[in-house]
Structures are given as C-alpha cells and as structure tokens.
Amino acid sequence: MKPLKEMTKEELLELKATLSAEYKEAQGKGLNLNMSRGKPGVSQLELSLPMLDVINSGSDMKTVLGNDTRNYGDLDGIGECRKLMAEMMSVQKDNVVVCGNSSLNIMYDTVSRSMTHGVNGSTPWCKLDKIKFLCPVPGYDRHFAITQHFGFEMINIPLGTDGPDMDMVEQYVNNDPAVKGIWCVPKYSNPTGISYSDEVVRRFANLKPAAEDFRIFWDNAYCIHHLYEDKHDEILNILDECEKAGNPDMVYMFASTSKISFPGSGVSAIATSLKNIDFIKKQMTIQTIGHDKINQLRHVRFFKDRAGLEAHMKKHAELLRPKFEAVLDVFRRELDGLEIGTWIEPRGGYFISFNAMEGCAKAIVAKCKDAGVVMTGAGATYPYGKDPKDSNIRIAPSFPTPDEMKAAAELFVLCVKLVSIDKILENK
C-alpha cells in the first residue's frame, strides 16, 4: 500500500469507513487481552516446575563449603549461587552479591542507600539540593518510578539502535556534578529491544564524571534472554571496560532469574567492584541476616551452571518466539509502506516497541482498550509518564498465547490506522 499521507481526503474517508466497520465488529467480539505486562506465560512457568522437586525433605541442604542453607548465615549468598549468577552475568564470582527475589529491590535499595549514606563515603544524596538522573528513552517505567519517588530530576536521553546518545550522556555526566546516575538496560533494551554497541559500552566506561559518586545503573535484565538460536546480541562486559578505563567503581550491574525460573520466586544479584561491595555489605549487614539460601540452593541444583541456564533459555525462546512473530507478521503485513509507524524487530528480551505518528499513542492505546485489548499506558516508557511526542507504545507479547497475540495485534494495527487517518485528516 502507499503511504496514507499521500492519499486524498476522499480516499482516507473511504478507508476510514471500512476500518471503522471492522473496528465495530471487533468490539462485538468481546476481546479480553492484555499486552501490558512483561509477564512470562503459563507455559514458560511450567518449564521451571521440576525445580520445585530438587530440594525436598530428603535433600542434603549443605553448601559446597558445608554451610547449612536452612539456618542463618552467608550474608552475600551461598558460594555456588554467587558462582551461578556470576556465570550468567559474565563476571567474576568475587564481584557478585546474591540477594532476594527482586533485582528491582536491589536497585531501589542502592538508590535509597545513596540517599541516606552516600556512595563509598560521599555526601548522602539527601543532603544535596539537587540530584539528576539520566534516563535513556523510551525506557523502563519502574526505573523512572524509583528516581521520581526520591525526587530526582530526570533527563531524557534519546535511545538509538546502538544505545543512548553518548554525546549527550558525556555532556551531562562530565560537566554536571548533580548528575549522579543513569539507568541502562544494555541488552535487549526495555522496551526497544536494542543492544548497546561496543563503542557505546566503551564510551560509558570512559566517562569522566564531574561527580565522584556518579554511578551507571546497568540493569542486565535480559542478559541470556535470546529469542533466536542463531541471532544473539552480545555486549561488552562493562565491569571489565570500566576497570580498563580506570573507572572500576563506576558501575552497578543487576540481574535476576525472574524471567528464567519464577517471577517473584527467583534470585537476584548485583555485580560491582570489590570496593563497592565492601561499602554495600556494610549496609546489608545492618539490613538483614541474609537472604533465602534454600531458594539459592534450589536454583543451583536445578540449573547447575551457565550451560544449564542456556539450555533452559532455549526452551523459553521456543515459547516466546511465536508470540513475537505473530505480532511482527501482522505489523509487516498491515503496516509496511503506510508510513504511520515504525518498530524494531528484537532478537531478545520481552518487548516490541512501536512508534506511532506524533500525537497518536494515547489515542491508539485508548482505542485498543475500548475493544478489549489492554496495552501499557502510553507515556509509561518516559519519565513522569510523559512522552513528549506521544508516540511510543510498548507491546508485551509474553503472556497471551500466540493466537491471542495475533488477535491483539490485528486489533492494534486497526487502531493505529484509524487514529493515524484522523491525525492526517486534521491536516488535510
């Protein structure tokens, strides 16, 4: 089809009439689909059920070092789980602290600790007049929610296909001592699915922050979450690169098994320099006696090592891929050539990011909802929930079945067309 903008008013009105009838029909179907949350599907959860059998009343529950996982101890996690998470994150075991069930919670605690106790001896952030955080956009709403909760000023940094706009990042970080952090999802980014190029990672590692307590919050949430066997993104190891660049303490890396084993019942970890770990543990030892070591042992006994994790993630990919492709197929078939939206075809992660014509995202999401398809709220991928172009929509294909995803995507493109036609007609 030709670009909608090139159609005459009459052609557009005619198309609108046809599509409106289709939309009415769709509304009549009583759809009830949810594409809003990056929630694993039921079939994915079933992959990890055998994990619930590996620890039972007859199990030896001692660690390799002989510590009893059933009792207090091992503040930074049992050794074998630190090793497993290190392999997953491609870092050294000594740099890893295993925590509770949620990497989001570690990120929150990391910001909260910086507020009350500073960073490795710096002034507590709560004593400063102004804290700024850089936010590559579109990005993850829960990251932005943390920095909003603590009252930081958030600055949008455009995210390209190879990472954030590094000229802007360097400009801010290297000159403004109020800039204390940046949120990054470097691999299979939430929501655009892109991965940072080697050059971007190296430019991160070579930042010369104006603030000594500037830190990169490197949320490696999708480190082994590939969709294809033959097409993997790989990113450089930011810990190594920071070390090489003389900035060994500049990065905190986060990850969890929430989308590998069970969301809410996985294990999470932070990886960072030994100096940072020393400081973190000074606080952790006040906050807790230790995290759930039986669950750590359960994960180790089930996954064993990096190869075990990878084999497991292949099974996830097999379940997720058809859902992603169902959406992408509909997009290509229905939208190619119309010039009313763009999207990236991700190789991993949990999302497809759609950019509608400016000023259309909210209306599209609302129109979908009116026909029974719930999307992530438009704007959610931007700080303060404000997408300045009202363009980005995050699609989460993981929870519904492939057939449901197809139906949802059909409805979605219908809404994209209808809203875009109205937008174009406004200017005719």
What is the binding site for a copy of itself (CB under 8 A)? 37, 39-40, 42, 45, 48-53, 55-57, 59, 68-73, 100-102, 104-105, 108-109, 112, 115-117, 124, 126-127, 142, 145-146, 149-150, 262-265, 283, 286-295
267 vs 338: CA distance, rounded Å: 44
Report in angstroms how near the CB of residue 146 gets to a copy of itself at its nearest. Answer: 6
> Does an H or E element contain 342, and which?
strand 341-343
Report in angstroms how near the CB of residue 321 gets to a copy of itself at its nearest. Answer: 20
Closest by Cα among 284, 269, 313 to 104: 269
Contacts 24+ apart (CB under 8 A), 142-150: 142/104, 143/107, 143/183, 143/185, 143/217, 143/219, 144/183, 144/382, 144/383, 144/384, 146/104, 146/107, 146/108, 146/111, 147/111, 147/181, 147/183, 147/383, 148/383, 148/384, 150/111, 150/112, 150/115, 150/125
Report in angstroms how near the CB of residue 295 gets to a copy of itself at its nearest. Answer: 7
Residue 104 vs 216, nearer CB to a copy of itself: 104
Report in angstroms how near the CB of residue 71 gets to a copy of itself at its nearest. Answer: 5
Instruction: Dig out the tokens for 35 from the structure.
Output: 């594409």
Residue 71 vs 175, nearer CB to a copy of itself: 71
Chain centroid offset of residue 125 CA: 26
**SS3 label, residue 59:** coil
86 vs 223: CA distance, rounded Å: 12
Residue 293 vs 417, nearer CB to a copy of itself: 293
Residue 30 vs 264, nearer CB to a copy of itself: 264
Residue 17 vs 49, nearer CB to a copy of itself: 49
Closest by Cα among 9, 10, 12 to 1: 12
Residue 61 vs 326, nearer CB to a copy of itself: 61
Residue 75 vs 210, nearer CB to a copy of itself: 75
181 vs 251: CA distance, rounded Å: 9
Report in angstroms how near the CB of residue 41 gets to a copy of itself at its nearest. Answer: 9
**SS3 label, residue 251:** strand
Report in angstroms how near the CB of residue 68 gets to a copy of itself at its nearest. Answer: 7
Report in angstroms how near the CB of residue 345 gets to a copy of itself at its nearest. Answer: 26
Q: Residue 157 pairs with which residues in a beta bridge?
A: 136
Residue 214 vs 399, nearer CB to a copy of itself: 399
141 vs 148: CA distance, rounded Å: 10
Residue with tokens 């660690």: 63
> Does an H or E element contain 395, and which?
strand 392-395
Report in angstroms how near the CB of residue 129 gets to a copy of itself at its nearest. Answer: 12
